[in-house]
Amino acid sequence: MRGAVIHAPGDVRFEELDNPKISRPTDAIIRTVATCVCGSDLWPYRGLEPVGDPHPMGHEYVGIVEETGSEVTHVKPGQFVVGSFATSDNTCANCLGGWQSSCLHREFMSTCQAEYVRIPNAHGTLVATDGHPDGELVPSLLAVSDVMGTGWYAALAAEVKPGSTAVLVGDGAVGLCGVIAARELGAERIIAMSRHESRQKLAREFGATDIVSERGEEGIARVKDLTGGIGADSVLECVGTAEAMRQALHSARPGGNVGFVGVPHEVQVDGVELFFSHVGLRGGPAPVRRYLPDLIDRVLSGRINPGKVFDLTLPLDQVAEGYKAMDERRAIKALLKP
């Protein structure tokens, strides 16, 4: 089979690779129907994270089950499945607590930009749809495997409630899906921070009521203007930079909450400042598995359409162009089809 391999910053190649094999009874092999490039894939691509030895890439996927290990009984070959970027057995204490992305047997997916993928912990990770979904629903189901699930978690971690005010820091795919989540969870006012016209437009389409294009101190002041001078109830931090975290913490009101889902890169939180802010802080890799059945239903019923974040679709063999387009911000998110 063939798949994407990163060799160095800026150097992603589509190469011949060994076909994945079942190595444990809890594994499954899927044939990829769609995969994509994630904002977090850009960290090594941009040289902001070490690449190390050449290695496969990708952690977002939907596919058809090809083969299952002996302990995988709830999905069968031929079924269409959605999974999560963090695999989980769905039976350990952390999984039962709803924290599948802290599963005691967790493995992070990292080989999904390929024609076939081995899914560890397939018994607890994969959720099958009834029948094969229409092709037009595939992008939204793919979004559920990470960005929509992550946006959903950001909104819950920030404790978005009916009638509340939510601020989105970050206008990438996760931030935009966070707008959908905030709307679905009943936020009355949704303030999206974005400087890019096409992303502002999509944010509004997803339910944003206000757009703030300023950043830094000006951005914080603008959010305060819009929230009675005190800040928002909930802030979803969907970037992972020090600037974004600062923006988020200062945009929340005393008693408000920040949900942070951007993988932190050189983020420092000042303890004294946090102490006096009265802001609650919860982040981490989203327990997407917890939300899969609900989010799949919302997609299949047409209630949400997070697949709109994919504004570029390429054949999988052009994966390098997908990285390039996202790096140059010509695309919000690139969908790849084998």
Q: Are 143 and 173 in contact (CB under 8 A)?
A: yes
Q: How many residues interact with Zn ion (rule CB under 5 A)?
A: 7
Residue 17 is a binding residue for Zn ion (CB under 5 A):
no
Return the bridge partners of 190, or none: 166
Per-residue interface string for the shown chain with Zn ion, residues 22-41, x marking contact by CB under 5 A: ----------------x---
Residue-by-residue DSSP string for 241-286: BHHHHHHHHHHEEEEEEEEE-SPPBS----HHHHHHHT-EEEESS-
85: tokens are 């970027």
Least Å from the CB of residue 130 to Zn ion: 25
Q: How far apart are CA 156 and CA 20, in angstroms?
A: 36
322: Cβ–Cβ under 8 A, 6 or more apart, which residues? 36, 37, 312, 314, 331, 334, 336
The smaller minimum CB distance to Zn ion, of residues 156 and 187, is found at 156
Least Å from the CB of residue 58 to Zn ion: 9
Q: Which of 22, 64, 92, 221 binds Zn ion (CB under 5 A)?
A: 92
Please identify, among the stretches 10-18, 69-77, 95-103, 204-212, the one whose residues bind Zn ion according to the rule CB under 5 A: 95-103
Please identify, among the stretches 6-14, 96-104, 135-143, 219-227, the one whose residues bind Zn ion according to the rule CB under 5 A: 96-104
Residue 193 is a binding residue for Zn ion (CB under 5 A):
no
The smaller minimum CB distance to Zn ion, of residues 120 and 133, is found at 120
Residue showing tokens 């920030």: 158
**End-to-end CA separation in angstroms for the chain:** 10
The smaller minimum CB distance to Zn ion, of residues 89 and 171, is found at 89
Q: Which of 146, 184, 233, 321 binds Zn ion (CB under 5 A)?
A: 146
30: Cβ–Cβ under 8 A, 6 or more apart, which residues? 61, 63, 64, 65, 66, 81, 116, 117, 119, 126
Please identify, among the stretches 27-35, 71-79, 83-91, 298-306, the one whose residues bind Zn ion according to the rule CB under 5 A: 83-91
Please identify, among the stretches 74-82, 102-110, 196-204, 288-296, the one whose residues bind Zn ion according to the rule CB under 5 A: 102-110
| Residues in touch with Zn ion (CB under 5 A) | 38, 88-89, 92, 95, 103, 146
